[in-house]
Structure 1
Amino acid sequence: MTSLGSKASRRVFVTGTAGFIGFHLAHLLLEEGLEVFGYDGMTDYYDVRLKQRRHQVLLQHPGFACVEGQLEDQALLDRTIDAFAPDAIVHLAAQAGVRFSLENPRAYIDSNVVGTFNVMEAARRLGVAHLLMASTSSVYGANEDMPFVETEKADTQLTIYAATKKATESMGHSYAHLWNLPITMFRFFTVYGPWGRPDLALFKFVDAILDDRPIDIYNHGEMYRDFTYVADLVRAIRLLIDVPPVRPACTADIAPGDSLSPVAPFRVVNIGNSDKVRLLDFIEAIEWELGKPAIRNLLPMQMGDVPATWADATLLYRLTGYAPRTDFRDGISRFVAWFRDYYQK
C-alpha cells in the first residue's frame, strides 16, 4: 500500500463528485495537485442540472475525469476503479435525505448498503492505502448526552437513512478486520454552503423567502444543529486522507477518546463545528442577510427528526490539528452570495 502523504503519484477516486460535498472535495484535491476520478449516478432526487453544472466546473481542470453510473452497477464500478488504480477512495455517494427515507426506503438500501458493499469490495481487491466513507450524525439517533463523541454507543437510529449509514459503519469494521484494510468513517453534522442541495434547509429557506413563500419550521423552531460549513468539512476530509488508521498491537496502544478499533485498522471521526445553534437564530441570520422577514409556518416535530445535534470534534483535531470554525452567519452570507449569482435572484 502507498501513502498519500508520500511524493508518489496521489490518485483519489471519489464517489458522488456531482453531489454537494463531493464537488467541493474534488475541487480542493485538484487545487492541491492530486488526480481525481469521479463516479456519480446523477439521480433525479433533486435538480440534475445542478449536478451537471458541478461536473462541468470540475471538468475544466485537467486532473479530473469522471464516469456516470450507479453504485449498484458493480461491473461498471469495478472497471472504472480498476482502470484508475487509486491510492485512496473517498466514498461520499449515497441516497441522502432523512425525510425522503420515510417515503422511499428501498432507495436507501440499494444505494447506501449494496452500493457501499460494492465500493468496499473494490477497495479490498485493489488494496488501497485508505478507504474513507461518509456516515452521518443521524446515527446518534435517540442519544441525549451531548456533545456527541465517537466512542459512545449509537444503537438507536430513528430513520432508515440513519440505519443504513450505521450498517455501513459495521460493514466497514468487518472489512477492516478481515482484510487489514484501513478505513475511516466520518460522521457529518448539518453541512451547508455554496452549491448546496435544494432539499437542505438553508437552500429551501433562502429560495422561499426571496419568492415570498412560507418556510416550514419544525418543532416551532426549538431545534438545535451543529451547522458545519462545507469548505471546513472537505478540508477535514483532505487531512484525514493522510491519516489512515493502523491496527493496534494491543488495547493499551489506543489513546483515551480515540475511536480506533482494538481489532482492526478502523476509526470513526466526527466532523462538525462543535457549536450548537438554535434553528430560530439560524433563520434570523438568513432574514438579516436577505433584508426581509420569512413567512413562518410553525409545525410540530417531524417523524424521525431529533431535537438537537452537537459534535465533539476533539478527535479530528488530535488527528489532523484542524478544527472547523466558520461562524454560521459568515457561512450564510457566502451561500446567499452564491445563490443570488447562480439563480440571478
Structure 2
Amino acid sequence: MASILVTGCAGFIGSHLAERLLHDGHRVVGLDNFDPFYDRAYKQQNLALCLAHPRFSFHEADLRHGLDAVVDALPADPVEVVVHLAAKAGVGPSVKDPMGYLENNVLGTTTLLEWMRHRDIQKLFFASSSSVYGNTPAHPFREDMNLLATCISPYAASKLSGEQLTYTYHHLYGLDVLNARFFTVYGPRQRPDLAIHKFVRLLQDGQPIPVFGNGTTARDYTFVSDTVDGIARGVQYLLEHSGVYETLNLGNSQPISLLDLIAAVGTAVGVEPELAFQPMQAGDVDITYADISKARRLLGYAPQTSLAEGLAEFVEWLNKVAYTPAT
C-alpha cells in the first residue's frame, strides 16, 4: 500500500483512477482546481465514491499557485508517487486560448515538479497526449519518433513541453518518470465537449451530427477502464523500479474513422444519424494510431473493451446522469 497524489482527480480519467487506486489498496490524496471549462457539478459527482472512502483525502488547489497551502493537510505517510493528470484539455479551445494552455499545462507542471523536488518525492506518472504526434505520416505512432516539428496546436505543444520538463528533472534530480501518451479516452464521465458525449446527446435530442472534414479522419478510441489499468500498472512499475525514464503509448491500436464512429454511436443510441458536413477544425489531426507494444512489454498493458461495448456502457451511464451539464 502506497500513498499516491493524483492531480486532476475530479476529472473524467482522474476520478476513475482514484477509485481504481483505492480498490488496489493505496491511499489517495486528490487535488483539483475545478477549472470552469465545464460544469463544476459534473466533477463533484465524479468524486462521490472517493469522498466516502476512508483512505481518500481531497484538496481544492491550483498548481499554478503552488502546493505549499496544502502541505500541512497531507497525510502523515509521505507521498510516494505523483500521478499528474491535471491540465487544461482540448485541441480546439487551445487554438483560441494558447496563453491559458501554456500557463496551466507548462507553468503548472513546472510548479509541481519544483514542489516534488523540494519535498524529495521521486516518482512521477505524467499524462501526455497523442496530440504530440500531430500529422506524423508513419503509422502506427511509436514513442521513439522524432517530434521536433509535429505539434499543430497549443495543447499538443504544452504536452510535449511537459514531457521535456520531466526529462529535465530526471536528468538533474534523478526523478523516476513514466510519460504516458493517452489516445482519445472515452467512457462514463467523459467531458461534455468531447465527440462521443456530444454525439450521443445530439442524437437523443433529434439533432444532426456535425462532421468536420469528409469523415475519414480517424481516432484510436480507448475505453477509460483500459487507460486507467495502464496508469495503475504504471504506478506499480514506478514503485518497483528505480532509475526510470520511459515514454509509453496508452491507446487501443485500432483507429476508427469519424463516419464509422458516428454509425457505431447511432447503433448504441438506437437512432439513425443525420450528418451535417463542416470544414475541418484548426489544430485537428488526420489520425491517431498507437503502437502499444512498449506498454505491453513493460506493464503488461492490454486493452480489453471493444468500441461497441464501451459505447453501450457510456450511453447507459449518460441515461442515468441526474443533471444536464452546461456545455
TM bin (shorter chain): over 0.9
Does structure 2 conserve the Cα–Cα contact (< 8 Å) formed by 1:127 and 1:181? Answer: no
1:103 pairs, out of 84, 96, 100, with 96
Within 2, Cα distance between the matches of 1:180 and 1:237? 21
Amino acid paired to 2:165: M
Identity %: 38
Q: How does 1:64-83 map to 2 (within 5 A)?
A: 64-74=56-66, 75-76=68-69
Query: Does the 8 Å contact 2:216/2:257 carry over to 1?
Result: yes
> Aligned match of 1:288 in 267, 284, 288?
267
Q: 2:300 matched to 1:321?
A: yes
Aligned residue runs from structure 1 range 56-71, under 5 A: 56-71=48-63
Structure 1: segments with no counterpart, 5+ residues:
1-8, 248-264
**1:10 corresponding residue in structure 2:** 2
User: Displacement of 1:80 after TM fit?
Assistant: 5.3
Residue 233 of structure 1 pairs with residue 227 of structure 2:
yes
Q: Alpha carbons of 1:219 and 1:278: their partners in 2 closer, same or farther (altered >3 Å)?
A: same
Deviations 1:133-191 (A, max 9, x none): 11000001121101000011112200000001000111110100100110111000000
Gaps of 5+ in 2: none
How far apart, in 2, do the equivalents of 1:147 and 1:325 lie? 19
Q: TM-score, normalised by structure 1?
A: 0.89
Q: Write the distance in 2 (CA, Å) between the matches of 1:275 and 1:81.
A: 41
- 1:25 match: 17
Question: Which of the residues 162, 176, 181 maps onto 2:170?
Answer: 176
Shift of 1:341: 1.1
Q: What one-letter code is carried by the residue in structure 2 that aligns with 1:296?
A: L
Partner of 2:187: 193
Show the counterpart of 2:249: 270
**Pair 1:331-2:323 in alignment:** no
SS at match of 1:106: helix
Q: Give the match for residue 31 of structure 2.
A: 39
Change in Cα spacing, 1:146 to 1:177, as seen in structure 2 (3 Å) is same
Shift of residue 214 of structure 1?
2.1
* Structure 2 SS opposite 1:90: strand
Q: Distance in 1 between matches of 2:42 and 2:323?
A: 14
Matched, 1:202 2:196: yes
Q: Residue 292 of structure 1: SS of its match in structure 2?
A: coil
Structure 1: distance between partners of 2:91 and 2:76: 34
CA RMSD of aligned residues (A): 1.7
Q: Which runs of 4+ in 1 moved over 6 A?
A: none
Deviation at 1:125, TM superposition (A): 2.2
User: Contact 1:225–1:277 (CA<8 Å) still a contact in 2?
Assistant: yes
SS at match of 1:17: coil
Cα offset, 1:110, TM superposition: 1.6
Shift of 1:295: 2.5
